[in-house]
Amino acid sequence: MTTRYTKDHEWVRMEGDVAVVGITPYAAEQLGDVVFVELPDVGKVVKAGADMAVVESAKAASDVYAPIGGSVAAVNEALAGSPQLVNESADGEGWFVKIKPDNPGELDALMDAAAYADYVRGL
Protein backbone atom coordinates (compact mmCIF):
# COMPACT_ATOMS: atom_id res chain seq x y z
CA MET A 1 0.00 0.00 0.00
CA THR A 2 1.24 3.43 -0.83
CA THR A 3 1.20 6.34 1.57
CA ARG A 4 -1.99 8.41 1.72
CA TYR A 5 -2.40 11.96 3.01
CA THR A 6 -5.03 14.17 4.66
CA LYS A 7 -5.71 17.89 4.22
CA ASP A 8 -4.64 18.24 7.87
CA HIS A 9 -1.14 17.01 6.88
CA GLU A 10 -1.22 13.53 8.38
CA TRP A 11 0.14 10.57 6.44
CA VAL A 12 -0.92 6.94 6.75
CA ARG A 13 0.42 3.75 5.21
CA MET A 14 -0.54 0.15 5.74
CA GLU A 15 2.14 -2.19 7.06
CA GLY A 16 0.55 -5.60 7.18
CA ASP A 17 -2.77 -5.24 8.98
CA VAL A 18 -1.93 -2.00 10.81
CA ALA A 19 -1.89 1.58 9.58
CA VAL A 20 1.16 3.64 10.56
CA VAL A 21 0.32 7.34 11.06
CA GLY A 22 2.42 10.48 11.36
CA ILE A 23 2.53 14.09 10.26
CA THR A 24 4.01 15.13 6.96
CA PRO A 25 7.40 16.79 6.54
CA TYR A 26 5.48 19.90 5.44
CA ALA A 27 3.57 19.97 8.75
CA ALA A 28 6.76 19.41 10.76
CA GLU A 29 8.45 22.26 8.90
CA GLN A 30 5.49 24.59 9.55
CA LEU A 31 5.55 23.74 13.26
CA GLY A 32 9.25 24.36 13.70
CA ASP A 33 11.19 22.57 16.43
CA VAL A 34 8.92 19.95 18.02
CA VAL A 35 9.43 19.89 21.80
CA PHE A 36 6.67 17.54 22.98
CA VAL A 37 4.28 14.95 21.59
CA GLU A 38 1.22 13.70 23.49
CA LEU A 39 0.13 10.31 22.19
CA PRO A 40 -3.08 8.37 22.87
CA ASP A 41 -3.17 5.22 24.99
CA VAL A 42 -2.82 1.86 23.28
CA GLY A 43 -6.32 0.44 22.88
CA LYS A 44 -7.99 3.84 22.45
CA VAL A 45 -10.62 3.80 19.72
CA VAL A 46 -10.25 6.69 17.28
CA LYS A 47 -12.61 7.93 14.59
CA ALA A 48 -11.47 9.22 11.20
CA GLY A 49 -11.06 12.99 11.43
CA ALA A 50 -11.11 13.09 15.24
CA ASP A 51 -8.17 14.38 17.23
CA MET A 52 -5.94 11.64 18.61
CA ALA A 53 -2.65 13.31 19.58
CA VAL A 54 -1.06 16.68 20.22
CA VAL A 55 2.24 17.95 18.90
CA GLU A 56 3.87 20.99 20.51
CA SER A 57 6.61 23.14 19.08
CA ALA A 58 8.33 26.30 20.19
CA LYS A 59 5.71 28.14 18.06
CA ALA A 60 2.42 26.36 18.71
CA ALA A 61 0.51 23.29 19.79
CA SER A 62 -1.48 21.43 17.16
CA ASP A 63 -3.91 18.55 17.21
CA VAL A 64 -3.11 15.49 15.14
CA TYR A 65 -6.17 13.85 13.62
CA ALA A 66 -6.79 10.18 12.90
CA PRO A 67 -6.82 9.71 9.12
CA ILE A 68 -8.81 6.49 9.53
CA GLY A 69 -10.88 4.96 12.30
CA GLY A 70 -9.83 2.01 14.44
CA SER A 71 -8.04 1.17 17.65
CA VAL A 72 -4.55 2.28 18.58
CA ALA A 73 -2.32 -0.80 18.37
CA ALA A 74 0.98 0.92 19.24
CA VAL A 75 2.47 4.33 19.92
CA ASN A 76 5.96 5.56 19.13
CA GLU A 77 7.50 5.51 22.61
CA ALA A 78 10.71 7.05 21.21
CA LEU A 79 8.94 10.39 20.80
CA ALA A 80 8.65 10.82 24.59
CA GLY A 81 12.41 11.26 24.94
CA SER A 82 13.19 12.41 21.41
CA PRO A 83 10.35 14.58 20.06
CA GLN A 84 12.81 16.04 17.53
CA LEU A 85 12.40 12.78 15.56
CA VAL A 86 9.25 14.41 14.16
CA ASN A 87 11.42 17.13 12.58
CA GLU A 88 14.29 14.83 11.62
CA SER A 89 12.19 12.04 10.06
CA ALA A 90 8.52 13.07 9.92
CA ASP A 91 7.63 10.35 7.42
CA GLY A 92 9.85 7.69 9.00
CA GLU A 93 11.16 7.33 12.57
CA GLY A 94 8.93 10.22 13.69
CA TRP A 95 5.69 8.24 13.23
CA PHE A 96 3.05 8.72 15.95
CA VAL A 97 0.76 5.70 16.18
CA LYS A 98 -0.19 2.40 14.61
CA ILE A 99 -3.91 1.87 14.16
CA LYS A 100 -5.74 -1.40 13.63
CA PRO A 101 -8.29 -0.07 11.12
CA ASP A 102 -12.01 -0.73 11.38
CA ASN A 103 -12.44 -0.11 7.66
CA PRO A 104 -9.25 -0.08 5.54
CA GLY A 105 -11.41 1.21 2.68
CA GLU A 106 -11.30 4.64 4.36
CA LEU A 107 -7.79 4.95 2.92
CA ASP A 108 -9.28 5.21 -0.56
CA ALA A 109 -10.81 8.58 0.30
CA LEU A 110 -7.41 10.11 1.14
CA MET A 111 -4.99 11.84 -1.22
CA ASP A 112 -2.10 10.06 -2.91
CA ALA A 113 1.36 11.66 -2.99
CA ALA A 114 0.74 13.59 -6.24
CA ALA A 115 -2.59 14.99 -5.03
CA TYR A 116 -1.06 15.98 -1.68
CA ALA A 117 1.86 17.72 -3.40
CA ASP A 118 -0.64 19.69 -5.52
CA TYR A 119 -2.62 20.53 -2.39
CA VAL A 120 0.48 21.83 -0.55
CA ARG A 121 1.55 23.90 -3.58
CA GLY A 122 -1.84 25.64 -3.41
CA LEU A 123 -1.44 26.71 0.22
Find all residues with CB under 8 Å of 61, minimum gap 6, and list them: 54, 55
Helix (H) or strand (E) holding 114, with range, is: helix 113-121
Give pLDDT tens digits for 64-107.
999 999 999 999 999 999 999 999 999 999 999 999 999 999 99
User: Has residue 1 got a pLDDT over 70?
Assistant: no
Which pLDDT does position 87 carry in this prediction? Answer: 97
The structural domains of the chain, with segments of one domain joined by +, span 4-121
User: Has residue 121 got a pLDDT over 90?
Assistant: yes
pLDDT tier at 27, thresholds 50, 70, 90:
very high
Which pLDDT does position 66 carry in this prediction? Answer: 98
pLDDT, the chain, mean? 97
Residues 12-23 have a mean pLDDT of 97
The alpha carbon dihedral of 14, 15, 17, 22 has a sign of: negative
Distance of alpha carbon 1 from its chain centroid, rounded? 16
Q: Is 4-121 CATH 3.40.50.620?
A: no
